[in-house]
Structure 1
Amino acid sequence: MSPRALDIKPSTRAAKDNPNAPKDPKKRWIEDTETESEAAPEAPVEKEPNKKLSLEIPESVHHAHKVGSASRKHTMVSEVIEMMAARNGLIPWPEDVVNQIVAQLEAEAAAADKARTARNRAKDPA
């Protein structure tokens, strides 16, 4: 028996009689608005077209990004888009990234101060 012979499509009559049958999206929208309160439906937001981007990155970076994205309950793609948008000034940087950078800058400044103090002590032994 060929795979095509197994394709069974419900008849139109069965789909009409079955309340769980998939509905036409346009008709479902009309039915949903009829059952809701008097609130007007919101206008659909037009989505910007997408472009494809293929990246070759080191396996360690991919793994770290995958683990980090999952721990933040985000997709890898959404985080890449967010970072690209922030890097190019389209949106503000995420707060967790700002906090990480501030902590890194503070640590570097503290290390530089410590090194400067050690050099000064070495030059001027009291």
Structure 2
Amino acid sequence: MEQYIKHKIRSKNIGTIIGWVIFGIFAAIALAILLGYGIMWLWNWLMPELFGLATIGYWQAIGLFALSKILIGSIGCGSSSGSSRSKKNKPSSNKDDMNCNDFSKWKQYDKFWKEEGESAFNSYLNKDSVDKEQSEK
């Protein structure tokens, strides 16, 4: 994994990396603000008229979102906390059905690249020589 990260940032200068980090921080803050106001606007538009409930403020909307995350589960990775527990007990029928935080395949990346990856990559680039070797066999 370290080699992959080094490869990705090798051509970038420190100013570009710092710029992307700052941009990411501002984007996360803007998304949090928009999420809070979006929840507040939807609540205040629908709930008082439909169910006769009181209107809420920004921080109440953020609290409502946090409460829903705790009770219902996560947004990312396509599964909630309750369904992921039941999936652990069942064998997975789909190979692509993995936890989004599963980086177990990357643990062997450096070892593979040192042993086989570079030669496999070079043989792929020299496809004609590989085809000749296969026809001789």
Length-normalised TM-score, structure 1: 0.27
Bigger RCO (CA 8 Å, 6+ sep) = 2
Larger helix share, 1 or 2? 2
Q: Which has the larger radius of gyration?
A: 1
